[in-house]
Structure 1
């Protein structure tokens, strides 16, 4: 796996148990060491898995990219992420939520994502293939309009 930035966090469904955290050099961090076997076998995030991952992100002040694409996120998981990031100094250049369906996030999940965008001063938010309808898209754009975030949909 090759990265163009040394301050990345990539979470993929296929390799959920392995999170790459990097600051000056790449450091492999195994979330699986903190998760029971039953949780590691699941294809998507559980609430416990999101708590573990987002609690660890909170302490990575130099982390600039968070990629949670195709993670089957829902409103509860996004709320856990937001709650665990509250009070952190994390500034995210890229938040990639591609292919997480709006139908699972619902309005409250989208609202929480907008709070994360505000809280972490997200510069670029990617939500490609999230299946927004026109009303959802316009409503969400209104929620993040005052942030200056580059919204890629």
Structure 2
């Protein structure tokens, strides 16, 4: 097994664990916030923010997981109607472009995150540093890039072995 696949699989396991933890946290925070707000007339200050933070992290990590599981949305009308050799070439080019794009966006997100003004921002109600929510972007893009690189290597191996890219 090659290194990119091992790293991608380890990251995917970590992503699954993270989502398994974050979704119940989001649900519990929302239920508690609703209960305290409507039944006790004493809204929680942190409930909505915790639910929002959990939702943002879950969404970005879920996007990365969809790349690993090859469940991301794709328009395959053209690829499905052409021969295997040309189809493989188009898929490999698409994976290469997607990999380069995710690397570039990851680079931009690192530049954005390291801006000193980002470290000064806090949430409105709990004064939690916003960097905790903003970090979901470069982290998920790093994971996504690793999954794309692994998928690209798998695709190139398939082409080399004369198989159809999956």
Q: Do these two structures clear the TM 0.5 threshold for a shared fold by scoring above it?
A: no
Ranked by relative contact order (alpha carbons within 8 Å, sequence separation 6 or more), the top structure is 2
TM-score normalised to structure 2 length: 0.25
Q: Which has the larger radius of gyration?
A: 2
Kindly indicate which of the two structures has a greater share of residues assigned to helix: 2
